[in-house]
Amino acid sequence: MQAKLTGVLAGALAGVLAATLPVWAQEAEAPLSAIDWLSDSIATPPETPDTGGDVATSATPGAIDVTPLGGPIADAAGLLPPSATGLPRDLWGPAGTEDIVAALDAVPETPLPSLRNLLITLLLAEANAPSDSGKDDRLLLARVDRLLETGALDRAAALLERAGAETPERFRRYFDIALLQGTETEACERMLARPDISPTYPARIFCLARGGDWQAAAVTLETANSLGILSPAEDLLLARFLDSEIIDEGLIAPDNRPPSPLMFRMSEAVGEPIPTTTLPLPYAWADLRDTRGWKAQIEAGERLARHGVLSGNRLVGHYLRQRPSASGGVWERVAAIQQLQVDLAEGNAEKIDRDLSSVWIEMRDAGLHHVFAAQYGKELAALPLSGPAATLALRIGLRSPAYEEVALAARAEDVQLRFLLALARGVPETAVAPGTMSLSVRQGFAADAPPPALQRYVASGRVGEAILKALTLFNEGAAGDPDGISDAIALLRSLGLESTARRAALELLLQEGYG
């Protein structure tokens, strides 16, 4: 079904189709992506077949690939230098791009914050590009896509900025991030100023309208319709985006996939916003914008913090914005955190002693225990609490970045807690391992080196792959393979990642059932 525009916009359609795209962009198929919700906002020109002769098959100038000698390679781009990560610049060694990408794809999502942080560090690390890196930016795009999948939009955007978002595949990711974070005005300006980026019709129409050129947007929509390249859903949504008088027809859902960020933003613009709670994690960033209500911002912040891509400090900032006017659900956590803040500011250990358990249960049941521990663990462990509250504060402190400092100041009689303290101090061999998982942890710390199959990664200089393998093994171990835990810890320690090994082991053992 073709949507018809009305009023001033309809009059514009009689003009010359001066705002159309180059012919090759009209005919090109949008690039495919491993992430099904990315917008097909950029088109790439089809390759000209080689006829084997000297006769030109097109009047269009041929594409010329240019790679500056000694120039920067996008696959080497990063935000964190070796001095910040502790990782070697030759992170990937002799490994080929496809092997690295395959190892990255094999790493499952982990519930352990320390391992999530290690993966993000690896994705953001400055490192020499693999020797077979090419113009397709395969490793860079794989890193960006993994950041997008985990919801780390801010870091993905920064990495694209560092590498340069000028190529079609880089820019389409940059454009989608801008749409979800509410910075699309700048992204549209960059798009319209760069014809070589080749925006598709929906993206061009959106950006022309955002820039105030409604007539050119309307002409471009009519051109797209005449070429038959829009789906009925795109046609109607774009028409409604341009003309508010088209209100008598509902939107057409294109299929069961999530809407692209472009369709998501235009649905919002026509007054039919799509709830983000059922969409992939990155869409939660759209609810952090100032245009959203406080409750929506808190719920989105909790979702992102739960997955480790929004800081606890920022989430607490949302909690503390104002007094809750309701109760139940998210408001219980808001009230609990606000009261804890008051008690900590007043140094009221008696109230904290009484209320800590209920605050902890609220945050734990919401999957935010690691966020709470990172924000309050050190401070709580230092308070003069008593009984169960003191023990709980100690366990929370052991989940925090100050785990070693907390452990050095603590004493315990309980066998499980004694082992946790010894582990946090880096000497698990000095305490009795009270269970199978803790025994595997102790064996990992006792090992002089990882098993030979894993040591080969390190010996050949493939440090990045070794870290990815350790992440995979640790996750397999957490799912029930104790040997995987031992091997992963030994491998992490052999790479100098002692703190990560300790924190991951503590997080694993402090999961429900152990403490």
Q: Are 153 and 285 in contact (CB under 8 A)?
A: yes
Given a contact cutoff of 8 angstroms between Cβ atoms, the answer to whether 151 and 281 are in contact is yes
**Beta carbons of 143 and 78 less than 8 angstroms apart:** no
Q: In a 3-state reduction of DSSP, which class is residue 494?
A: helix
DSSP-derived letter for residue 80 is: B
Q: Give the closest residue to 475 by CA, choosing from 86, 92, 119, 98.
A: 119
Q: Give, in order, the Cα–Cα distances in Å from 63 to each of 24, 44, 195, 314, 379.
A: 12, 11, 14, 47, 61
pLDDT in tens for each of the 515 residues of the chain?
444 554 444 444 433 333 333 332 333 344 445 688 888 888 754 443 444 444 332 333 344 444 444 446 899 999 999 999 999 999 999 999 999 999 999 999 988 999 999 999 999 999 999 999 988 999 999 999 999 999 999 999 999 999 999 899 999 999 999 999 999 999 999 998 887 887 889 999 999 999 999 999 999 999 999 999 888 888 889 999 998 776 555 555 555 778 999 999 999 999 889 999 999 999 999 999 998 999 999 999 999 999 999 999 999 999 999 998 888 889 999 999 999 999 999 999 999 999 999 999 999 999 999 999 999 999 999 999 999 999 999 999 999 999 999 999 999 889 999 999 999 999 999 999 999 999 999 999 999 999 998 999 999 999 999 999 999 999 888 887 888 999 999 999 999 999 999 999 999 999 855 44
Cβ(95)–Cβ(467) below 8 Å: no
Give the pTM.
0.87
